[in-house]
């Protein structure tokens, strides 16, 4: 399996939400399984946190999400510091946070980057509760800072849960909003259009792969109907599609929830590698999908993971059956403290002769089940 130089290799976290202490290697596929409330979502929310941090929006994010008190493990009376340490390729990022009791925001106690070829800590200089990536202060190494920030900026947690008629991806979007797929696929129409008309063959091939994947789970689907409207320089586009047996285009509102969600997932995973973030992070991608669609999604995820990391949570036994033991991280909680354990194949070899990983999970042989 190909290892990209900007893959996330290791996460260490202390004092963040239900995570008292975490020391976890990250592989190409990382599937979080566990009971409701075990802490899967808290780990995934760490990447949302890092994304806002890299954009200079951490303070507003923390305050709008309940204040600093909500981010510290069992609150600031018990936990006085949050520590985050990442290894990304040859680079590393370390940050420590304390609570600002005056306004319930976070304050950086330390922030620095590292590289594997040196023991030096390349300091960043945070200011006013925002990271040194965006504070305007000169870092000890602008080059090391640049590479680390590029990864964090792409920490987008994808959610395609909203498939109602008010979902943003079903509404008109600006044609020029196509540089990357947004976390809720709001700009999927201009994004797909840019692939379809691209001068680069690899982009057009990606578009065809997306269409073919959708046809596999929805045989009635023929193609997208993507026609810009409006004046030059101010054009819009709406997601529409063509039925295999009809010529007139249909609105995206006429897609079933499962088909609409699968369209977003196929676009996320089958977009050109140059567009994808180094690590794709998403929460419960199986929601609303037919079992046949789960099989296709698993194949797509495994193929994509050859060059792009995947971190996701799931509650689906059937979806889990498509993956190998070493793909899983079992999340359990005891007295409000989350634990994370990556599985190994050898201890499960006997069970794997007759059962898939989802079945083994249901039998409570690996943890990740409610504590009765």
Spell out the residues 6+ positions from residue 244 whose beta carbon is closer than 8 angstroms to its own: 219, 220, 221, 222
pTM for the structure as a whole: 0.93
Query: Averaged over 105-131, what is the pLDDT?
Result: 94
Q: Which domains, from first to last, does the chain contain?
A: 8-156+297-362 (3.40.50), 168-276 (no CATH)
Considering only 83-97, 108-122, 145-159, which range has the smallest mean pLDDT?
145-159
**Which of 336, 245, 259 has the alpha carbon at shortest distance from 293?**
259
Burial class (CB in 10 A: 0-12, 13-18, 19+), 233: exposed
**Which of 123, 118, 120, 147 has the alpha carbon at shortest distance from 137?**
123
| CA distances in angstroms from 95 to 5, 67, 72, 113, listed in the order given | 22, 18, 14, 9
Query: Averaged over 306-335, what is the pLDDT?
Result: 96
pLDDT tens figures, 28-74? 999 999 999 999 999 999 999 999 999 999 999 999 999 999 999 99
Residue 180 phi/psi, 5-degree rounding, is -150, 155
DSSP string of 259-310, one letter each residue: HHHHHHHHHHHHS-TTTS-SEEEEE-TTTT--HHHHHHHHHHHHHHTTTSEE
pLDDT tens figures, 291-314? 999 999 999 999 999 989 999 999
| pLDDT more than 70, % of the chain | 98
**Token pair of 295 as six digits:** 């099989």
Residue 3, pLDDT above cutoff 60: no
Locus of tokens 């990447």:
47
């Amino acid at each position: 399996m190909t290892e990209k130089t900007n893959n996330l290799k290791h996460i260490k976290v202390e004092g963040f939400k239900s995570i008292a202490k975490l020391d976890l290697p990250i592989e190409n596929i990382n599937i979080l399984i566990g009971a409701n409330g075990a802490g899967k979502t808290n780990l995934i929310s760490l990447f949302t946190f890092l994304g806002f941090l890299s954009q200079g929006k951490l303070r507003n994010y923390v305050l709008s999400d309940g204040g600093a008190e909500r981010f510290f493990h069992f609150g600031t009376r018990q936990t006085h510091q949050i520590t985050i340490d990442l290894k990304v390729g040859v680079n590393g990022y370390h940050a420590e946070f304390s609570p600002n009791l005056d306004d319930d925001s976070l304050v950086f106690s330390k922030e620095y980057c590292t590289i594997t070829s040196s023991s030096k800590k390349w300091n960043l200089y945070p200011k006013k509760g925002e990271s040194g990536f965006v504070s305007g202060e000169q870092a000890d190494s602008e080059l090391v800072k640049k590479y680390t920030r590029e990864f964090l900026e792409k920490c987008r947690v994808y959610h395609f849960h909203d498939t109602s008629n008010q979902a943003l991806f079903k509404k008109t979007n600006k044609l020029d909003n196509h540089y990357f797929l947004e976390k809720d696929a709001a700009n999927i129409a201009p994004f797909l259009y840019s692939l379809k008309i691209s001068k680069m063959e690899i982009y057009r091939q990606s578009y065809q792969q997306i269409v073919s994947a959708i046809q596999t789970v929805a045989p009635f689907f023929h193609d997208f109907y993507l026609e810009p409207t409006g004046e030059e320089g101010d054009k819009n586009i709406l997601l529409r599609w063509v039925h295999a047996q009809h010529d007139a285009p249909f609105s995206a509102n006429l897609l079933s929830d499962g088909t609409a969600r699968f369209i977003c997932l196929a676009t996320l995973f089958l977009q050109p590698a140059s567009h994808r973030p180094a690590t794709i992070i998403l929460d419960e991608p199986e929601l609303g999908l037919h079992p046949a669609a789960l099989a296709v999604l698993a194949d797509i995820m495994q193929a994509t993971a050859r060059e792009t990391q995947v971190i996701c949570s799931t509650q689906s036994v059937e979806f889990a059956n498509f993956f190998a033991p070493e793909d899983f991280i079992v999340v359990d909680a005891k007295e409000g403290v989350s634990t994370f354990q990556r599985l190994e194949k050898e201890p499960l070899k006997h069970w794997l002769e007759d059962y898939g990983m989802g079945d083994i999970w249901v039998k409570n042989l690996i943890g990740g089940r409610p504590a009765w």
